[in-house]
Amino acid sequence: MPEGPTEAQRSRIEEICQRLLDVPADRIEAALLEIAPDDAVVRREVAGILRYLERDVGEDASHRPEVPGRGELTGTTIADRYKVLGVLGEGGFGVVYEAEQVHPIRRRVAIKVLKPGMDSTAVLSRFETERQALGVMNHTGIACVHDAGRTERGLPYFVMELVKGEPITRFCDRHHLTIEERVRLMIRVCHGVQHAHMKGVIHRDLKPSNILVGYDHDGNAQPKIIDFGVAKATNRRLSEQ
């Protein structure tokens, strides 16, 4: 059985993946030998992640492997209580669905499910890091986690708050917010970021599309930080304090 990466190797794998995302496929092997000549585990994990990413977004659909893909869970029920309604979005590793929770309470939720085939140690570790990062936080400016588990096919998933809103820049422009109003909105975003940092979580991918703005129950603009897919814990274990 192949040796799994250590904690230090996981961090290096993540860093190298980010560096090589735009490198052509035929140059990946040479680049890995140059970056990590003495670490076969790191090379194997990085190559596996980049191979799946390239296959998912770079190949023509007719040449993709025969595995279920985007939207495969639409119309199904997860864990006997989440009726999957449709796809909200898709990243390199996972698909986010909108679903209706039918018990013990009824509500709309978002469910992030790991894509079939994305089961390398590094990807599973990143998926779990995102789930834990959201799970330790409790702030109105950050989407919260409700539940987690595995689908019938064994794919990891977690259930989170369904955030209805639009990217912060689009919201500001569409509603013609003044500079003062935009600053006030960003202050609320900063409060959410501060909360994450106090919990030992660094988002690392803050951008307008990951800050959605909607309205709270009082009719006030409420920004929500989403997508902690490349988040990093500042400590080895995420704080639950």
Residue count of the chain, please give it.
241
Sheet order of strands, 82-90 included: 77-78, 82-90, 94-101, 107-114, 156-161, 145-150
Task: Classify the phi-psi angles of 18: left when phi > 0, otherwise alpha if psi is within -120 to 50, otherwise beta.
Answer: alpha
Query: How far out from the chain centre does Cα 87 lie?
Result: 14
Residue 205 is among the residues annotated as catalytic for this protein: yes
Q: Which of 26, 205, 216, 218 is catalytic?
A: 205
Which residue in 179, 172, 173 sits closest to 221, CA to CA? 172
Rounded (10°) angle between helices 28-35 and 40-58: 150
| Bridge partners, residue 97, by sequence | 87, 111
Element spanning 151, H or E: none
Residues acting as catalytic residues: 205
